Amino acid sequence: AIAKNLLDKTGKDLEEWLEVAKDRPEGKKTHQIEWLMGFGLGRGQAQTVLYFAQGMDLDYKDKEGLVRDMYKGRHQVLFPVYEETRDMLLSKWDDVDLHILKTYVSFNRNRQFLIMRPKGGELVMGLALPEDHDDERLIPAKNLGSDRIVWSVSIADAKDLERHMDLVDAAYEAN
Question: What region does 124 belong to: left with phi over 0, alpha with psi -120 to 50, or beta?
Answer: beta
Q: Which residue has the higher pLDDT, 132 or 102?
A: 132
Q: Return the exposure string of 160-169: e unless at least 16 CB atoms fall within 10 Å of the residue's CB, then b.
A: bbeebeebbe
| pLDDT at site 61 | 64
> What's the half-sphere exposure (Cβ side, CA atoms, 13 Å) at 24?
27
What is the per-residue pLDDT for 125? 95
Mean pLDDT along residues 118-139: 92
pLDDT at 5 (0 to 100): 85
Selected from 3.40.50, 2.170.270, 1.10.10, 3.90.1150, the CATH number assigned to the domain covering 63-174 reads: 3.90.1150
60: pLDDT strictly greater than 70: no
pLDDT category at 146 given cuts 50, 70, 90 is confident
Q: How many whole angstroms separate alpha carbon 40 and alpha carbon 130?
A: 22
Question: What number is the average pLDDT over the span 42-67?
Answer: 78
In the predicted structure, residue 59 carries a pLDDT above the cut 70:
no
The proportion of the chain whose per-residue pLDDT surpasses 90, expressed as a percent, equals 52
Q: How much is the average pLDDT of 68-93?
A: 92
Going 121 to 96 to 63 to 48, the CA torsion angle's sign is: negative
Q: pLDDT band at residue 117, thresholds of 50, 70 and 90?
A: very high
Specify which residues 140 forms β-bridges with.
151
> From the CA atom positions of the chain, what is the Rg in Å?
17
The answer on pLDDT for 57 being more than 60 is no
Residue spans per domain, the chain = 2-53, 63-174
Three-state SS sequence of 91-104 = HHCCCCEEEECCCC
Mean pLDDT, the chain, integer: 88
Residue range 58-81: mean pLDDT, rounded: 84
In which band, very low, low, confident or very high, does the pLDDT at 158 lie, cut at 50, 70 and 90?
Answer: confident
Q: Calculate the alpha carbon distances from 116 to 83, 128, 151, 162 in Å.
A: 11, 12, 12, 15
